[in-house]
Structure 1
Amino acid sequence: MDQFDLLVVGSGPAGRRGAIQAAKLGKKVLVIEQGKRVGGVSVHTGTIPSKTLRETALNLSGWRERGFYGRAYRVKQEISAEDLRRRLLITLDHEVEVLEHQFARNRVQHIRGKASFVDPQTMQVVKDDGEVVTVSAASILLAVGTKPFRPDYIPFDSKTVLDSDELLEIAELPRSMVVIGAGVIGIEYATIFSALDTQVTLIDPKSTMLDFIDKEIVEDFIYQLRDRNMKLLLGQKAEKVVRENGKVELTLDNGRRIVTDMVLFAAGRMGATDTLNLDAAGLEADARGRLSVNPETFATKVPHIFAAGDVVGFPSLASTSMEQGRIAARVAVGAIAKEPPKYFPYGIYAVPEISTCGLTEEEVKERHIPYECGIARFRETSRGHIMGLDTGLLKMIFSLKTRRLLGVHIVGEGATELVHIGQAVLNLKGTVEYFVENTFNYPTLAEAYKIAGLDAWNRMGDIKSEI
């Protein structure tokens, strides 16, 4: 039986960052990955594939140029599923190659197989060929990620009724699609296929969507979706889904019926913990397969076993998972781990993008903080005109008392890149004066920060800061 300092189960963002961090501290590390290649859900079915699909769809459809040339404009008239897959495979090969090189460079060992606990410090790994290997470690990091939630009443067939993993393997693009679930994954795929001119209907039993995002941003986002003829059936539940004659018929709880070419079920994900034999380690998962951890150290109730990434729940971002894995690994091997900055950016790669950092206007109101907002629309910038943008909104919230930035919220082209300017100012406790007094490259979309800063400054008046 091999002995390691740290055993990592899963090679997604949390697992690989944790493994490499421990290796850099001179520890003996083993990564166990059950997939055919390293990278986890993030590389093979989640973050990288969905963002690659989005970029390919926008490029081939000519989406970004339609502001100039009209809605009928296309770079490629007939776009096929193979067109989308070709770029995806190139991207995935590159990601795997980079990751394998990182493991080799840092002397991180890795094996393929399914891992399960034998006891709190020992795991057995069943390889594809049936060989069973037993390994033990002083500490264990569970970074197994999640898998799509698949309820029994949905007749999945991998062709016309699919989950988000299966969507990447479709043989042809549907003319119509129903997406069940208005969470981040459902919204991303719904808007990507809408950009490909698929008729998309989005269904969710909740009457609202993206409740953790600033309400004004969500309202602008919804307006853009409806403006391009996406149907949003919020507050309605799909009670029955039936496949028939190559089509799918859905019956909603209000009696409405919808016939469509394809259904994507994207209403939640489950922690991939069901095969780990958690009982043998003294652990248990919740109803959605997630593990509870100390939010500062990512330790479970068993002190030497840690968990990080999507398996511990919100925010379930690749970026935050990497930091969780790094912190967990440092704590696991006895190194000091500094707490990350309070505010991190949240990105939703829909069409258009949404990104946010800091407090929403609703949260500011709940805390009874006197505040003012500054708004800029991308069409107000010269860069926006050059790009043909009719939409796009940047909103900043400032404290009236300290004049500090409290939150930045963006919907529109490049939102996930632009947000980092606001993130830096927010974590460095900057004020509205930063945006008013600094020079931004011209012409850029980043100028929207100055426009929004001036908008807020004019509304706030020249009140002295109490910093």
Structure 2
Amino acid sequence: MHFDLIVIGSGPAGRRGAVQAAKLGKDVLVVDQGRRVGGVSVHTGTIPSKTLRETVLNLSGWRERGFYGRSYRVKKEISAADLLNRLHITLNHEVEVLEHQFARNRVTTLTGTARFLDPHRIEVATASGERLTISADRFLLAVGTRPHRPDHIPFDGRRVLDSDQILEMDRLPRHLAVVGAGVIGVEYATIFSALDVPVTLIEPRPAMLEFIDQELVEDLVHQLRDRGTTLRFGSKVTAIDTPADGPCIVRLENGRMVQADMVLYAAGRTGATASLDLAACGIEADARGRLAVDPRTFQTSQKHIYAAGDVIGFPSLASTSMEQGRLAACHAFGVAAHEAPRFFPYGIYSVPEISTIGLTEAEVRQQGIPYECGIARFRETSRGQIMGLNAGMMKLIFALDGGRLLGCHIVGEGATELVHIGQAVINLNGTLDYFIQNTFNYPTLAEAYKVAALDAWNRMPRYPCR
């Protein structure tokens, strides 16, 4: 059994790399240890959390509360089963689409756990007990990540859970403590908050989402506090007690304690490389199981072995992972491919959504670029009023010299969709003129681009009047 390319992992990077190689006429095998293809993205990561979010927003009536008040709900009593029913339907559909994609591109799939025997051979242990030895000219490692589980945290899958286990909960918590205010922690904290579950968000660093423009983070923090979420920044967790006759107690380094019915530990992820026996192929992972690659070619220290997706670290997005897998496959077989654009959109599916592309205001200052900002509040648009939005904002950053768009930052309803207009303008080196001179559908939230651009233009005395 020999292939041109063996892909280990069928998440976004793996499936895109496999399909790209197959379209080049190569014999491709995808090995995945899951019961069905899709990887972490489909089964425990991107798709499940976003489906859970959408279900919560629908059943809770969250989007209509601007008109009908905070007590409004579409379904009065929401259970864990209500949330998971839609999740299973969505996941089945995603898997069927992926299986069909592999089939029509003649990609061979194999369920089992792979480990290297040497730089060109792997052994796959299947669920039936078989051990298959398979060789390939090239490999793509797209194994993704798993939740970081420190030894001092008493995970039990019911009261203290990681971000995989939260998708198997059999009840909704009366009070939830979330440890870790990264992307995953913030998403789940805000999702449960939208269900009116009291949430305490704990983060050892002095602030959260430090890579996001801080004006957006401040807006998000204000919204969270306004709806009763408790924030504990600069607080490292030292222990979690789970007494049988009372709530969980999260002990903090500063001596404070947080009581909660359920604890979600979402402080980081680890590359799922432990079972690969990387030493046999001459590759080393770092302390968090991540692999170092050439950022242009995605080659590891072994030139015929590539890695892509979350296992290589930041930005750890499904969207960028797909492109990494495709570029890796192209390079592996000598096909010219364009370099990825410098800027890509970052989406955080919290409630409210956050999406951003380009430079933050802090980065613009660090680079010494003279600039001006424009702000648009969603409530200032007619569409925002129709939707009952009383929160949400768009921030555009323009260079004073020439008016080039440097950054687009959005928090609020539809942020992850709206950002693509800013993405196009930034990557095409567009300027403030585009927003002022063009017509946007009315009424839409996209009008916020023109409002923000005019807001910046009003404070740019050197910019010519159009």
Superposition TM-score tier, normalisation by shorter sequence: over 0.9
> In the TM superposition, what are the counterparts of 1:127-276 in structure 2 within 5 Å?
127-244=126-243, 245=245, 247-276=247-276
- Structure 1 stretches of 4+ moved >2 Å: 461-465
CA distance in 2, matches of 1:251, 1:132: 46
The answer (yes or no) to whether the contact 1:293–1:301 under 8 Å persists in 2 is: yes
Which residue type is aligned with residue 231 of structure 2? L
Which residue type is aligned with residue 55 of structure 2? T
CA distance in 2, matches of 1:428, 1:15: 29
Q: What percentage of residue pairs aligned between the two structures are identical?
A: 68
1:332-370 CA distances to partner (integer Å, 9 max, x unpaired)? 122112101111000000000000000000000000000
**Residue number in structure 2 paired with 1:347:** 347
**Residue number in structure 1 paired with 2:300:** 300
1:148-203 CA distances to partner (integer Å, 9 max, x unpaired)? 00001110000000000000000010110000000000000000000011100000
**Residue number in structure 1 paired with 2:401:** 401
The answer (yes or no) to whether the contact 1:160–1:246 under 8 Å persists in 2 is: no
SS class of match (1:340): coil
CA distance in 2, matches of 1:214, 1:458: 22
The answer (yes or no) to whether the contact 1:180–1:265 under 8 Å persists in 2 is: yes
**Residue number in structure 2 paired with 1:367:** 367
Per-residue deviation at 1:246? 5.4
**Residue number in structure 2 paired with 1:126:** 125
1:274-311 CA distances to partner (integer Å, 9 max, x unpaired)? 00000010000000000000001100010000000000
**Residue number in structure 2 paired with 1:382:** 382
The answer (yes or no) to whether the contact 1:373–1:398 under 8 Å persists in 2 is: yes
SS class of match (2:442): coil
1:72-131 CA distances to partner (integer Å, 9 max, x unpaired)? 000000000000000000000000000000000000000000000000011110000110
1:404-440 CA distances to partner (integer Å, 9 max, x unpaired)? 0000000000000000000000001100010001000
Which residue type is aligned with residue 376 of structure 1? A
Per-residue deviation at 1:136? 0.9
Per-residue deviation at 1:257? 1.8
SS class of match (1:123): strand
Per-residue deviation at 1:30? 0.2
CA distance in 1, matches of 2:34, 2:46: 16
Instruction: Name which of structure 1's ranges 212-221 and 244-253 shifts more when overlaid on structure 2.
Output: 244-253
The answer (yes or no) to whether the contact 1:242–1:249 under 8 Å persists in 2 is: yes
CA distance in 1, matches of 2:364, 2:383: 31
The answer (yes or no) to whether the contact 1:148–1:270 under 8 Å persists in 2 is: yes
Residues 1:8 and 2:7 aligned together: yes
Q: CA RMSD in A?
A: 0.9
1:307-327 CA distances to partner (integer Å, 9 max, x unpaired)? 000000000000000000000
SS class of match (1:203): strand
The answer (yes or no) to whether the contact 2:402–2:463 under 8 Å persists in 1 is: no
CA distance in 1, matches of 2:464, 2:436: 15
CA distance in 2, matches of 1:73, 1:81: 19
The answer (yes or no) to whether the contact 1:6–1:333 under 8 Å persists in 2 is: no
Which residue type is aligned with residue 110 of structure 1? T
Residues 1:102 and 2:86 aligned together: no
The answer (yes or no) to whether the contact 2:400–2:462 under 8 Å persists in 1 is: no
Which residue type is aligned with residue 267 of structure 2? A
CA distance in 2, matches of 1:107, 1:425: 38
Which residue type is aligned with residue 314 of structure 2? F
CA distance in 1, matches of 2:90, 2:299: 34
CA distance in 2, matches of 1:463, 1:175: 55
The answer (yes or no) to whether the contact 1:139–1:333 under 8 Å persists in 2 is: no
Which residue type is aligned with residue 396 of structure 2? M
TM-score, scaled to structure 1:
0.98
CA distance in 2, matches of 1:257, 1:452: 43
Per-residue deviation at 1:255? 1.5
Which residue type is aligned with residue 240 of structure 2? V
SS class of match (2:326): helix
CA distance in 1, matches of 2:444, 2:462: 27
Per-residue deviation at 1:402? 2.1
**Residue number in structure 1 paired with 2:424:** 424
**Residue number in structure 2 paired with 1:19:** 18
**Residue number in structure 2 paired with 1:288:** 288
CA distance in 1, matches of 2:456, 2:438: 15
TM-score, scaled to structure 2:
0.99
Which residue type is aligned with residue 275 of structure 2? T
Structure 1 gaps, min length 5: none
The answer (yes or no) to whether the contact 2:457–2:463 under 8 Å persists in 1 is: no
Across the two proteins, how many residue pairs are aligned to each other?
464
The answer (yes or no) to whether the contact 1:382–1:443 under 8 Å persists in 2 is: yes
